[in-house]
Every structure is written in C-alpha cells, then in structure tokens.
Structure 1
Amino acid sequence: MQVRRPAVWLVVVALIALRCSAPLPVNIGSITDHATLVSDWAGDFMELGPIGVGAVLADRVRREARLDLDDLLAATPSGIGPRLWGKAVGAGGATITPFALCWAALLGYLSTKHGAGVIPVGVEVFAAVILPGLVFVTAFSLTVPFLTGAALFRLGLFGYWIWGNMVGPDYGIPTPAGTPFEAIGEYPTGAWFHGFMFDARERGWNATTADAVISIAFLLLTALAALATTQFVLTRRSPS
C-alpha cells in the first residue's frame, strides 16, 4: 500500500527534482567520463532525496495505530521481529521505488547523450553510493518515531541531514560531513567513481577503497543496530 500513496511519489520526486534543477558541479553536463558523470548526479540525488524518503516513512508507526492495525497484527502468528523487519523491507522498498525510478529515468536520458555505457556504471553507483544511505534513513525512519513521533523525527532528520552531510568543515562547526561517517556517499563516489568530494577535500582527505568500505559498512551496520535495538525494546515491552 505504501507505494500507492501519492505523498510518497510527490515528496520524493519533488525533492530530487528541486536539487537536480541546479546540479553540482555546475558544469556537470560537460563531463564525459561515465563514472564521474553518473556519480556526480548521484551526489545531487542524495542531497535532498533521502529527506523525502524519511519524511514519508516517519508516520508509518503512528499510522498503523490510527488505523487500529496494532491489535490485528499482534493477533497474527508472526512476532514483533518479523513484522518490524518485514516493514523495513516492504515499506522501505516501496518508498525507495520512486527514487529508483527517477534514477532509472536519469540513466535512460544520459544513455541517449553519452552511450549505453552509463547504464552498468549507474547500477554500480546506485548500489554503492545511493542504496546504503537510503537503507540508513529507512531504518531510522521506522524506529525513532516510536520514541519521538513523526513530526519531531522529520524535523530532526532535516537538521541532521543538512548538518551531517552538507555543512562542510569550513563552517567551523563539528560535523561528520567530509568523513567516512557521513550518509551522503561521498567516499564511495571518490574512491571508486572519480567523483567530486567537496567536504572531504576541505578536510584534505583523499578517499581510498578502505574508506569507502568503512563508510558503507557504517551505514549498514548502524541501520541493522537501529532495527535490532527497536525489536529488543518492543519485545521486552510486549505483554506476551
């Protein structure tokens, strides 16, 4: 049902379109190297797109309660764990669908300009640069709202995403932006696809394969930890 919600499509697509209407770097259209071209477009997708994914997922928990589905789900043979992880895969995958289709449309367009070689590169970039960040956002969007509610989580997600991924070290504010612990995928971009690394460059760091692996592993392991911790807490609270 999540994929049928108009808000899922409107919010995610609108934020991607807003950022890609003025891409960085500004001369991205003159880039001819397929890896650099596609990875820099991925950076534009990741600047605002994940905020949309998190925003529309945040009300999933409270929405089920409003629809009186909690008791119905509790009466099924499946436990809290399968329901939580199933929700992460199902609702998360449905919410990522507009993101993936926008990416596919971009690859189709780029292939008409630069040849079909951009398509396999685009699949690799999606897996290494885009997907880990979306998994990270999905996991926290389905867990933190149990504690904060949807509205406060959305505000916190917006603040975190801007601070942790787009406010570089030159601002003088402590931030993970430009380190392997940011969620925007800058290190896989620089290490594997010759893309621009704006914040890491401000720190004087050059991405290596080890940095890229650390960045991806951090996002995926943190997402798993958020889901596992929520499952543990909900199981302890369950009267059964």
Structure 2
Amino acid sequence: MTTVLQRTAPPTAARGWWAKTVAAARYEYLMQVRRPAVWVVVIGLIGLRCATLFPPGFTSTTDHATLVADWANNFSQLCPIGVGAVLADRVRRESRLELDDLLTSTPTGIGPRLWGKAIGAGAATITPVAVAWVGLLGYLTAQRGAGVIPVGLAAFAAIILPGLVFISACSVTIPYLTGPVLYRIGLFGYWIWGNMVGPRYGIPTPAGTPFEAIGEYPSGAWFHGFLLDARQRGITPTGGEAVLSIAFLLLMALAALVITQLVLTKRSPS
C-alpha cells in the first residue's frame, strides 16, 4: 500500500503553476494540430501567396540571406491571417461543448488554462508554417547547398515567428471580448491596413515602421531582404530597429495575455 501511494501522481491542485500550464498546453496542442482546417487554411494561404513571388526574380540571387529573407516575406504576407482565423474559435469551444462549468470547477485555474491554450494551440497552428518552411529549406538545400539551412532557420525565427506569436496571442484573447466572427473581420482589416497598405496610399498606417507585424525590419536589417514600405518612408532599418520591431510584437503578445487573464479573473465568480 505504501509503495502504491508513493507512486501515485500528485493531485492537480498540488502541482505548480508551470506544471498546470504545461499540461494544458500539451492538451491544447494535440487537439489543435489534428484539425484538418489548421493545415488546409494555413498551407493554402502560403501556397496562394507564393504562387506569385515577390519581388519578381529574387530566386535568381546568389546571396543566401537575401534569398531566404524574400521567401520569408512571401510566407508572412497572408499566413498570419490563416493562423488567427483558425485560432479564433478556441475561446468559444468550451462553451459550445458546455464545458465551462466543468473547467471552472477544476483546480487548474484561469491562468494556466489561458496560457496553456495560447502556448499549445498557438504552437499547433504555427506547426504547418514550420513544416512548409522546412520543406522549402529542403528544396533550397538541394539547389544551393547546406549553407541555406542555418540562414533559413535564423530567418524563420527573426522574420516569420514574431508576427505569428503576436497574432496567436491576440487570437486566443481578443475573441473573449468580441466573439470569433467579429474578430476575424477585424484581423483581416488590421493585417491588410497595418502591414500591406503602405504610405504610398496616403493612409495613416504602421506599415513601414517598427510597429508592423510582417517582419520587414529584421528582413532588411539582418538579411538584406527586399524593402518596400520602409523604403517608401525613406528608412533603411538598422539592427537596433529590427530588435525594437521584434520586442514590440512580443511585448504586445504578453500584454494581451496578461490583460485577458486579469479580466477573466475579475469576471470569475470564485
């Protein structure tokens, strides 16, 4: 009897905050990554954008950094919309399944559930992007040699990933206030206006500034990628401005989660 008791896992209430969050993240990841819509929507948007490469002719460059940077910019054009769209319904999933009361009664807590959802479901929705990128690097390696691989991994981390983390955090939190349908409309409008409608249109927009989410600043500063909106503002991004751009996105993602946790805790009857 003593041996059995010693081998029994501690109850959830006795586990720390991080252990609960990891457990929730693992559950959310496995649930989200199995959804066909995640793969179809995200990879479909990547394929749609990459069907017409921009800038034209960049695939003929001999510079590995420029090559992967411009590929990364093509990935970043539309796939964040897909990531956000398929993540937006995660907050209402429990309500549809009538699990709200059950989850509230568990000792896991609001914080670990929210952060676990953001980490797990976000990582699962980014997985198709990572798989497509690895496939691209495999193709480029066969064409250009293994030197593409480290540059390609660095470009993914610096250009593509920060924007996806930002969109994932917003897509797990903001629909608590707006609902998934209104959020998806707002996400589409924000992404086009804030990242693809540059200053050439005469509309106030963060496009071409360090506060855009499309990764143009790290692309231009560190990988010599093509610049469009920043150059129209007369800006050639520096390394410091690239760091600022990434830090801004990560801080906004963190703020979205912290504020949502505070709001949900205040709303909770317990």
Normalising by structure 2, we get a TM-score of 0.88
Q: Which runs of 4+ in 1 moved over 2 A?
A: none
The CA deviation at 1:73 is 1.6
Within 2, Cα distance between the matches of 1:71 and 1:48?
37
Aligned residue number for residue 126 of structure 1: 156
Overall identity of the aligned pairs, in %: 73
Which residue, out of 181, 187, 210, partners 1:151? 181
Report the Cα offset of residue 107 of structure 1.
0.6
1:179 paired to 2:179: no
User: What code does the residue aligned with 1:141 have?
Assistant: S
The Cα shift of 1:68 comes to 1.6
* Total equivalences in the alignment: 240
| Structure 2 unaligned spans of 5+ | 1-30
Residue identity matched to 2:89: D
Structure 2: distance between partners of 1:130 and 1:189: 9
Q: Could you tell me which amino acid in structure 1 is paired with residue 224 of structure 2?
A: H
Residue of structure 1 in register with 2:39 after alignment: 9
Three-state SS of the structure 1 residue aligned to 2:173 is coil
Which SS does the other structure have where 2:52 is aligned? coil
Could you tell me which residue of structure 2 aligns to residue 58 of structure 1? 88
1:85-123 deviations in whole A, cap 9, x for unaligned? 011110000111101101111111111111111111111
Contiguous gaps of at least 5 residues in structure 1: none
Q: Does 1:141 align with 2:200?
A: no
CA RMSD of aligned residues (A): 0.7
Matched, 1:22 2:22: no
Alignment of 1:95-114 (within 5 A): 95-114=125-144
Q: Name the aligned partner's letter for residue 99 of structure 1.
A: V
> Structure 1 counterpart of 2:236, which letter?
N
Q: Distance in 1 between matches of 2:105 and 2:94?
A: 14
TM-score by length of 1: 0.99
Q: Matched residues in 2 for 1:3 and 1:72: separation?
A: 24
Letter in 1 for 2:231: R
One of 244, 252, 266 as aligned partner of 1:222? 252
Letter in structure 1 aligned against 2:175: P
**Structure-2 separation of matches of 1:10 and 1:36:** 28
Secondary structure class of the residue paired with 1:142: helix
